Amino acid sequence: MNYDVIIIGSGFGSLTAAALLAKRGLKVGVLEQAKYPGGCSSSFKRKGYWFETGATTLVGLDEHMPLRYLLDEIEVEVPVLKLEPPMQVHLPNGETLTRYGNLEAWIAEAERVFGKHNQRPFWEHCYKISQQVWRTSLQQRSFPFSNVKDLLFSAARARPAQLKLMSGAFRTMEDMLRHYGLLQHTLFVDFVNEQLLITAQNKLEEVNELFGATALCYTLYSNYYVPGGLINLVKPIVSYISEQGSEVLYGHQVQRVSKEKDGYTTTTSKGSFKSRFVISGIPLNNTQKLFEDVKIGQKLQKYVMPSEMLNGAFTMGLVLKGHPAPEVLHHQVHAPDGLPIIGSKSIFISFSHPEDRQRALDGEVVASISTHVQHPEQKKIEDKAIIEAAILDALVARGLIRREDILYNQSATPGAWIFWTRRAYGAVGGYPQYRHVKPWQMKDARLDHSGAYLCGDTVYPGQGIVGVCLSGIIAAGKLVQDHAV
């Protein structure tokens, strides 16, 4: 079957690119190996309940943010419930910190817990940077550069505020805390490190100021809950793609991509597809192995991260019966002694909304739990029960769940992620930020400067639905820019 564009994987970056290209009249075929769309930004059904596949929080609908741009472009509405406050953090000293969405309320809370010393200037600085980063991200869609056109387009859109941001790429969050005299505040440093792991996938000594400040401020933007699970964020976009004459095909595990004279041949477990263009929406590690073109593999090698630089996840899903409806849906629990086997020092738990009867029956609540597994290839988890017990102990101790309410329990290791998603090493959450990798050194959306492109959570800017959405916007934009389609 012939298409204008074949897109590998139906993660949110892929669906973003597919929707924008379909809007331009291109026939797009999205090849997904699973039976649900959305990749790590979706939900799956088990025992009659809907559990989140990966992401549980939704931001990006504010002005100047990528998800807002996408939905406005394709004129699609997604049913959402605004959350306030977005989340709570349970610190190792026993305090509960509420991450309010209002900047003034959040600063007051930070001062209450961490003391008044420089909390205000620190958070005002972070918030200002985050606003500039998101505004710049949509203005500078040619970034990172890989040809002369990119430079010309970027120069035409350049603003003084954008240039001021550049210096932040040379400073780490560790530098920033030192500047504000906060580096010796152990409780605050622990808080910052565990918060950075959620979105930047690394700690303050590695994350640069641009990504770090933006990552820390995600709760200061509108946070939303999608009734029925994040699959209901994905479904309207899939429907839009179909309405434009394009399609998402399931059960197609891509095996290889070959360059032909007039385009590309993508071979899957069910057949072959010809197209003028191809976009890989799967991780760089997996992309490198798919393309028969040796030059593509060689070029990608310097960007590919080994397991020791990546994070996997240990996840759990609970169904709670008779559990009181939580006022705050998202919680991070610090585990300062580290969890057994994996050593992770925080646990993230998200509850289904008390009004959401699509995910659970009346009187029941679904909870999605995750924690990091560093160097997932090395961590062979043979006894999940040990980790499960430690996680449940921590959640019970903080009063977030009661053992007697647990109706159903399931868990998954990075090995399960490999089985479900085919992602190398079972890595999730995108590539971590590292100080030696500057924003302009990240992989550009072009794979071969001919007709192959890249999007997803392992390319700039990566982490989170809103970032992955931006990667799809950039990939689609560069394809259009290069070929005037």
The larger pLDDT score, comparing residue 480 to residue 416, is at 480
What does each C-alpha distance from 444 to 33, 142, 441, 462 come to in angstroms? 25, 9, 8, 12
230-242 per-position pLDDT tens digit: 999 999 999 999 9
436 class by beta-carbon count within 10 Å (0-12 exposed, 13-18 middle, 19+ buried): exposed
Contact 329, 227 (CB under 8 A): no
The Cα 192–Cα 169 span in angstroms is: 18
Give me the mean pLDDT over the 317-324 stretch.
Answer: 92
385 class by beta-carbon count within 10 Å (0-12 exposed, 13-18 middle, 19+ buried): exposed
Q: 211 pLDDT exceeds 60?
A: yes
Q: 397 pLDDT exceeds 70?
A: yes
User: Whose CA is closest to 238, among 395, 78, 390, 478?
Assistant: 78
Mapped onto helix, strand or coil, the DSSP state of residue 15 is helix
261-313 per-position pLDDT tens digit: 999 999 999 999 999 999 999 999 999 999 998 989 999 999 999 999 999 99
Give the chain's mean pLDDT.
94
The larger pLDDT score, comparing residue 400 to residue 156, is at 400
Mapped onto helix, strand or coil, the DSSP state of residue 300 is helix
- Core vs surface per residue 194-205: b (16+ CB within 10 A) or e: bbbbbbbbbbbe
CA dihedral (374, 380, 386, 388) in degrees, to 10, reads: 60
Q: What's the pLDDT at 49?
A: 93
pLDDT band at 463 (very low <50, low <70, confident <90, very high): low
List the beta bridge partners of residue 50: 45
Contact 292, 407 (CB under 8 A): no
Give me the mean pLDDT over the 173-187 stretch.
Answer: 97
Give me the mean pLDDT over the 60-65 stretch.
Answer: 92
pLDDT band at 459 (very low <50, low <70, confident <90, very high): confident
Q: What's the pLDDT at 460?
A: 67
Residue type (1 letter), 207: V
For Cα atoms 464, 469, 474, give the angle at the middle one, nearest 5 degrees: 130
Q: What's the pLDDT at 462?
A: 55
The Cα 465–Cα 38 span in angstroms is: 10
Q: How far is CA 1 from the centre of its chain?
A: 32
What does each C-alpha distance from 282 to 11, 71, 155, 254, 313 come to in angstroms? 8, 22, 30, 10, 17
154-176 per-position pLDDT tens digit: 888 888 777 788 888 999 999 99
Contact 320, 367 (CB under 8 A): yes
Q: What's the pLDDT at 370?
A: 95
Q: Please, what is the end-to-end C-alpha distance for the chain in angstroms?
A: 20
Q: What's the pLDDT at 461?
A: 57
63-81 per-position pLDDT tens digit: 989 999 999 999 999 999 9
77-130 per-position pLDDT tens digit: 999 999 999 999 999 999 999 999 999 999 999 999 999 999 999 999 999 999
Q: What's the pLDDT at 439?
A: 87
Kindly give the interhelix angle for 209-216 and 119-139, rounded to the nearest 10 degrees.
110
5-55 per-position pLDDT tens digit: 999 999 999 999 999 999 999 999 999 999 999 998 999 999 999 999 888
Domains of the chain: 2-48+59-79+227-305+431-483 (3.50.50.60), 104-220 (no CATH), 307-426 (3.30.70)
The Cα 106–Cα 125 span in angstroms is: 14
pLDDT band at 417 (very low <50, low <70, confident <90, very high): confident
